[in-house]
A and B are shown apart, each in its own frame.
Chain A
């Protein structure tokens, strides 16, 4: 799907975008954030079978929390910020400056509206920081939907429940490491075929310049 030079350019762009997003997250949780080098791939849904194996830290069976935003119109798709449920609670508490105070982080019944509100705001900031920079790169204007939060149970047999409606998926995988809590998450961007083509054309133009 991507040749090595296209992938190199896209990786460099994403590195910068993720770096900015991490800086924003750091300000929100008031902790240093360490990032792994993002893994980036552009794949079709039909070849996504290896997906769960490659990104097993988050797609192992269990509850996950997905916060997503649709974007369009000229460059359209959907962006996801996904955490295992127990790590999402740690992230919320870090953002609020609170301790767990004996709460079981794996008990998702302990999630309250405020927690989802904070997760929505985190994803709003993080996903905007990445998608908005794609918009700036392409010189277009995007409209966003409101963030949506879903608690999803990932079973043994179905480990890619988020991808079923998408044609192509630009996968960005990175792990956040907060100074005190090891919170890992996945950022995924699903793009339409036209958007993928447009992005590659612009990367090619950059390479030829």
Chain B
């Protein structure tokens, strides 16, 4: 199963990749630094899940979510952001995000994230 991780922070991306290697080694992890690069990878690789930050250069996570949903309304996009605003959470849910997690991810919500991916994939 392909999972695309999108974040302009290498630190955050590396952390997520490491966590997936530990807790979900069967996943094939792809990465992108921004929304433009991510959408190109999405069209080419068709990952089962996209995990995206919101505040990024070039194209934001909201833009990426909109593009992906227009391209494939059944796609699974999970938002991982430092933005704690209720309005942002509501906005991305209305746009079709599967789930919303606040940074930083700890062991507890990493497991919640991975369980969500496993359950959704097998649904």
Which of chain B's residues have a CB closer than 8 A to the CB of A141? Answer: 85, 87-88, 91
Q: Do the beta carbons of B55 and A144 come within 8 Å of each other?
A: yes
A185–B13 Cα distance when bound, in Å, is: 26
A124–B81 Cα distance when bound, in Å, is: 9
Instruction: Count A-side interface residues using an 8 Å CB cutoff.
Output: 23
Which of chain B's residues have a CB closer than 8 A to the CB of A146? Answer: 8, 55-57
> Number of A-B pairs whose CB atoms are under 8 Å?
53
Q: Do the beta carbons of A118 and B11 come within 8 Å of each other?
A: yes
Instruction: Count B-side interface residues using an 8 Å CB cutoff.
Output: 20
Q: Do the beta carbons of A124 and B9 come within 8 Å of each other?
A: yes
Within B4-34, the residues touching A (CB, 8 Å) are 8-12
For residue A86, CB closer than 8 A to chain B, the reply is no
For residue B83, CB closer than 8 A to chain A, the reply is yes
For residue B116, CB closer than 8 A to chain A, the reply is no
Among candidates B12, B85, B88, B104, residue contacting A27 with C-beta atoms closer than 8 Å: B104
Q: Do the beta carbons of B11 and A129 come within 8 Å of each other?
A: no
Among candidates B85, B86, B103, residue contacting A125 with C-beta atoms closer than 8 Å: B103
Within A86-132, the residues touching B (CB, 8 Å) are 95-96, 114, 117-118, 120-121, 124-125, 128-129, 132
Which of chain B's residues have a CB closer than 8 A to the CB of A117? Answer: 9-11
For residue A167, CB closer than 8 A to chain B, the reply is no
A162–B91 Cα distance when bound, in Å, is: 33
For residue B123, CB closer than 8 A to chain A, the reply is no
A141–B94 Cα distance when bound, in Å, is: 15
Using a CB–CB distance below 8 Å, which chain B residues touch chain A? 8-12, 55-57, 81-88, 91, 103-104, 106
What are 9 residue pairs bridging A and B, where the CB atoms are less than 8 Å apart in the complex? Answer: A27-B106, A117-B11, A121-B12, A129-B84, A132-B84, A132-B85, A136-B84, A140-B87, A144-B83
Closest 7 CB pairs of A and B: A132-B84, A128-B82, A141-B87, A121-B9, A125-B82, A132-B85, A124-B82
